[in-house]
């Protein structure tokens, strides 16, 4: 598919490595409240009929996990790319996310995104341009936008939390482009899971030093200084200036196995990233 191909629909030509083709699970267009909204609203606000009680909802949530696991089970090595839904085509951030998608697919990774517009679309588009497999894990939203046009395998989720499990379970690392609350949510979910040892060897690379430096500075100067996190935790993040650097960091970390190796880390002596050969990814 050429880089200027119209966004007319996913390329599911024979020979695509994902034979499953586009697959939409769960709800698409959301008329009325979404499933997440129904789950999270208090039953006190409005009495619920028995078929929409939380107990029944658990069965639907379970079904969504089963469908998601089934659809994604054979994905192979994958990296998730997050970033703003509002990044416009042609913007530097869009082109960078696109290059990340392309470089990841050229390195043999499936590219997973939230399936939406902006940086998600850019990364999916880059993945297709690089000849790789492009996956979108969509979410039912009050104002549904639909999956972007650059996806081989699309799975729509009703519940944000189910979808977040899929990102973590089926990718080996995250590249995070500039974004807003949704992007920060995905970023901090991953960091928390690594910090608490629920996930190991999971690189998280922030793309765009200008954008991310104030956050990294705040984490170091406030969270570390005030004892909210350990000094070593800052090394859970790696910052990249360019798509090339971001992809190199994430790919090398995945290839290297366990990172951050918290057992080998010596918090007492606050060893630097350079001691571990991680200077390239040291957040400055």
Ligand X SMILES: CC(C)=CCNc1ncnc2c1ncn2[C@@H]1O[C@H](COP(=O)(O)O)[C@@H](O)[C@H]1O
Query: What are the residues binding ligand X (CB under 6 A)?
Result: 82-86, 114-117, 120, 138-139, 141, 145, 179-183, 186
Q: Which is nearer to ligand X, 114 or 281 (by Cβ)? A: 114
| Minimal distance, residue 257 CB to ligand X, in Å | 27
**What SS3 class is residue 67?**
helix
| Minimal distance, residue 274 CB to ligand X, in Å | 31
Handedness of CA 182, 183, 187, 193 (dihedral sign): positive
| Minimal distance, residue 278 CB to ligand X, in Å | 26
Longest dimension (CA), the chain: 60
**What SS3 class is residue 51?**
helix
Q: Which is nearer to ligand X, 27 or 182 (by Cβ)? A: 182
| Minimal distance, residue 34 CB to ligand X, in Å | 12
Burial 75-111 (b: 16+ CB within 10 A, else e): bebbbbbbbbbebeeebebbebbbbbbbbbbebebbb
Q: Which is nearer to ligand X, 77 or 146 (by Cβ)? A: 146
Nearest to 186 by CA among 132, 256, 116: 116
Q: Which is nearer to ligand X, 34 or 84 (by Cβ)? A: 84
| Minimal distance, residue 183 CB to ligand X, in Å | 3
**Are the C-beta atoms of residues 111 and 78 closer than 8 Å to each other?**
yes
Q: Which is nearer to ligand X, 30 or 199 (by Cβ)? A: 30
* CB-neighbour burial class of residue 144 (10 A; exposed 0-12, middle 13-18, buried 19+): middle
């Amino acid at each position: 598919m050429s880089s200027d191909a119209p966004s007319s629909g996913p390329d599911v030509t024979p020979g695509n490595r994902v034979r499953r083709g586009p697959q939409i699970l769960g709800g698409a267009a959301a008329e009325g409240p979404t499933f997440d909204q129904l789950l999270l609203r208090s039953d006190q606000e409005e009495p619920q009929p028995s078929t929409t009680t939380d107990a029944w909802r658990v069965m639907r949530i379970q079904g969504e996990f089963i469908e998601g696991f089934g659809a994604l089970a054979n994905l192979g090595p994958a990296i998730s790319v997050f970033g703003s839904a509002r990044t416009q085509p042609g913007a530097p951030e869009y082109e960078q996310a696109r290059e990340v998608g392309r470089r990841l697919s050229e390195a043999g990774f499936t590219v997973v995104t939230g399936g939406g517009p902006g940086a998600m679309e850019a990364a999916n588009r880059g993945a297709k341009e690089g000849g790789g497999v492009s996956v979108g894990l969509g979410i039912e939203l009050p104002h549904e936008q639909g999956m972007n046009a650059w996806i081989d395998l699309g799975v729509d989720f009703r519940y944000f939390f189910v979808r977040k499990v899929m990102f973590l379970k089926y990718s080996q690392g995250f590249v995070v482009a500039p974004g807003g609350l949704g992007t920060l949510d995905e970023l901090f979910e991953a960091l928390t899971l690594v910090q608490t040892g629920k996930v190991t060897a999971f690189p998280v690379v922030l793309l765009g030093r200008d954008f991310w430096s104030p956050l990294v500075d705040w984490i170091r100067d406030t969270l570390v200084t005030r004892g909210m996190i350990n000094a070593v935790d800052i090394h859970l993040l790696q910052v990249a200036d360019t798509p090339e650097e971001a992809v190199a960091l994430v790919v090398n970390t995945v290839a290297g196995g366990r990172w951050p190796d918290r057992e080998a880390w010596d918090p007492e002596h606050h060893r630097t990233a350079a001691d571990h050969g991680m200077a390239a990814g040291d957040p400055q």
